[in-house]
Structures are given as C-alpha cells and as structure tokens.
C-alpha cells in the first residue's frame, strides 16, 4: 500500500515552559507540504518558541513535534540538511562580509543554489563585501533569508521575514517565498503583518497565549456571510459600559469590540438597519460620532474579535 508522505509539520499537544511561565500551552497543528503557512499571534504568543522546537533547538517538554515525519531532536542529523532556518536575529557573525557568509553556508550543503544569483535576486548584489554589522536591518533580513534557502531545503522556517524591510524588499521577499512554494518547498512563517499573511499564506494558524485559537485559509477566516465591520469613532470617550449597551441595542448576530477609548468596532451585517441602530444608540447615549466607517471584515478584525487585542508589532 502506498503511504502519503508525512505532513511538513505535525505538532501534537506541545507544552513549553520557561521556569513557571507557560509559553506554549497544549498546541496542536499540522502544516501541509508545499504550502505557505503563516503562524500569527501577538508579541509573546509563543510563535518563536514553537518554531525553535520545530527546528530542533528546543526539546518538547510535553507533546510531540514531527518535521517531515522526523523528530527534530532525535533525528537532527538527518533533518538538518532538509530544513532552512531564518532566525529573527540574523544568525551571522558581525565582522563577516555578506557574500562570505552566504558562500560559507552554501558550502555546507551538497547541492546549493548559485549564491551570486541568489544575492542578486534578493537585491544584495551591491553589498556583498559589506561586513554584516554594517548592513541595514532590511539587508540583514534578506541575507538571513538567502542563508535559509541556499541549501535547497524542503521546508523553510522564517521568523518575521519582512520585519524592517522597505516595501520593495518586502515584495521581493514575497516573490521568492512564492517561488519556493512553486518548487514544492514548504514555507512556515511567523508574522505580525496581517496583509502579509492575507496576501501570501495558503493557511493561517492564529495563536495566542500559546494556544491555537483559529485556523484556516485567509478566506475561511475572514468570510462570514455578510459579515462586515462598522468602525465608530467618537469625539469624547465612550460612557462606561458602551460596548455592552450597543451590543444589546443591535441584537443577535453582531459583535462589539472596544478598540480604544474613542473607537468601537461592530462586526456583523453592515446594512441600513444596523447603521440606523448605531446612530440611534449614539443619540440616546449622547455620543457624538466623528466618523462611521464601513469595511469588509479582514484578518485584523478576526484577530481582534478572537483576542480582544490589535496585532500591533
């Protein structure tokens, strides 16, 4: 009987603690091969710890982690040549020149990509002789990405790949990640940027407090029939209890989340009847709207609704 290959990543009941701080709290998720999968979550959600466990840098304290069907700690030797890792801090020595570093990493692999072409592709052609510590933040990020992919890995883990990059560099990075997927490589990335996840990812796992709180394609996560948003911004702070009272006024099928003291987000049908109810509620509560904006529900709203927090970097 033919067996289908193991998923790129299979995490089951992972628990990771630092002293008595629980960083990952019973996380289970699967990443299918040849996808771009985004792990989204606010600061401290446990994303980096989870990735480091997949990369074999940390041993699961509870639960199991499998990457390409292998145990990242026990089978490290077999797995290492098959995975690429882009670390948040870059991972290069400060005095080494950019191209020397890339060539050094390439030499560790049996069938590396052409480093000159890869550097050119990522816009690093002009800074090949620049010492690592003199590269801009965005250049260091791109070099980190080049180092992660130069060995033609089957799966690449990229932690916030475009943090600190200008828009042009972000686009180049996205194109490279899409090309890798096209070649059958699995890309697992963490990001704070909703637009990045929405634009790039085939599948998104949202984690918060070390737990999986939602999972799906960008479309699955953002759809919800006529679900849309109304953003109500007011001139004076809302009276206490406003979200609850507005929710009661709007009735079933709507969610109200307070964004800050001057703005509320209503998720639900943004139809004339809901709008009329919002303005009637304003009148009855002596609240003067500064703006009332309609929008389609996006990932940012989904995240906000699930966690009550914005996903600010």
Ligand X SMILES: Nc1ncnc2c1ncn2[C@@H]1O[C@H](COP(=O)(O)OP(=O)(O)OP(=O)(O)O)[C@@H](O)[C@H]1O
Interacting residues toward ligand X by CB under 6 A: 18, 21, 23, 41, 43-49
Minimum distance from CB of 313 to ligand X (Å)? 8
Residues near 227 by beta carbon (within 8 Å), at least 6 away in sequence:
267, 268, 269, 297
Residue nearer to ligand X on the CB measure, 53 or 229: 53
Residue nearer to ligand X on the CB measure, 48 or 115: 48
Minimum distance from CB of 47 to ligand X (Å)? 3
Minimum distance from CB of 28 to ligand X (Å)? 16
Residue nearer to ligand X on the CB measure, 40 or 127: 40
Minimum distance from CB of 42 to ligand X (Å)? 7
Residue with tokens 């999986």: 212
Residue nearer to ligand X on the CB measure, 18 or 77: 18
Provide the CB-side half-sphere exposure for 98 (13 A, CA).
28
Residue nearer to ligand X on the CB measure, 121 or 192: 192
Looking only at the bridges linking them, the beta strands covering 21-31 and 263-269 are unpaired
Residue nearer to ligand X on the CB measure, 29 or 228: 29
Inter-CA distances, 122 with 69, 241, 292, Å: 31, 51, 42
Minimum distance from CB of 19 to ligand X (Å)? 7
Minimum distance from CB of 87 to ligand X (Å)? 11
């Amino acid at each position: 009987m033919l067996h289908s290959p193991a998923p790129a990543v299979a995490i089951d009941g992972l628990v990771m603690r630092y002293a008595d701080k629980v960083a990952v709290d019973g996380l289970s998720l699967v990443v299918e091969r040849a996808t771009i999968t985004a792990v989204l979550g606010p600061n401290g959600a446990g994303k980096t710890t989870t990735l480091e466990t997949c990369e074999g840098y940390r041993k699961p304290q509870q639960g199991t982690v499998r990457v390409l069907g292998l145990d990242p700690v026990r089978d490290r030797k077999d797995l290492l040549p098959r995975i690429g890792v882009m670390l948040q801090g870059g991972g290069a020595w400060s005095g080494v020149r950019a191209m020397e570093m890339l060539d050094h990493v390439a030499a560790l692999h049996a069938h590396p990509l052409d480093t000159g072409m890869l550097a050119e592709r990522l816009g690093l052609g002009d800074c090949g002789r620049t010492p690592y510590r003199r590269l801009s933040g965005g250049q260091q990020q791109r070099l980190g990405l080049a180092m992660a992919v130069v060995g033609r890995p089957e799966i690449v883990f990229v932690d916030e790949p475009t943090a600190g990059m200008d828009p042009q560099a972000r686009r180049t990075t996205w194109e490279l990640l899409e090309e890798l997927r096209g070649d059958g490589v699995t890309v697992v990335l963490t990001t704070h940027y909703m637009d990045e996840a929405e634009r790039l990812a085939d599948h998104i796992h949202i984690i918060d407090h070390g737990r999986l709180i939602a999972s799906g394609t960008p479309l699955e996560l953002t759809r919800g029939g006529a679900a849309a948003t109304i953003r109500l911004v007011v001139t004076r702070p809302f009276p206490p209890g406003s979200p609850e009272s507005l929710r009661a006024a709007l009735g079933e099928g709507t969610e109200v989340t307070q964004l800050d003291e001057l703005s509320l987000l209503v998720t639900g049908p943004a139809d004339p009847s809901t709008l009329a109810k919002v303005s009637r509620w304003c009148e009855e509560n002596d609240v003067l709207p500064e703006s009332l904006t309609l929008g389609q529900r996006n990932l940012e709203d989904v995240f906000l609704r699930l966690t009550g927090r914005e996903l600010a970097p």
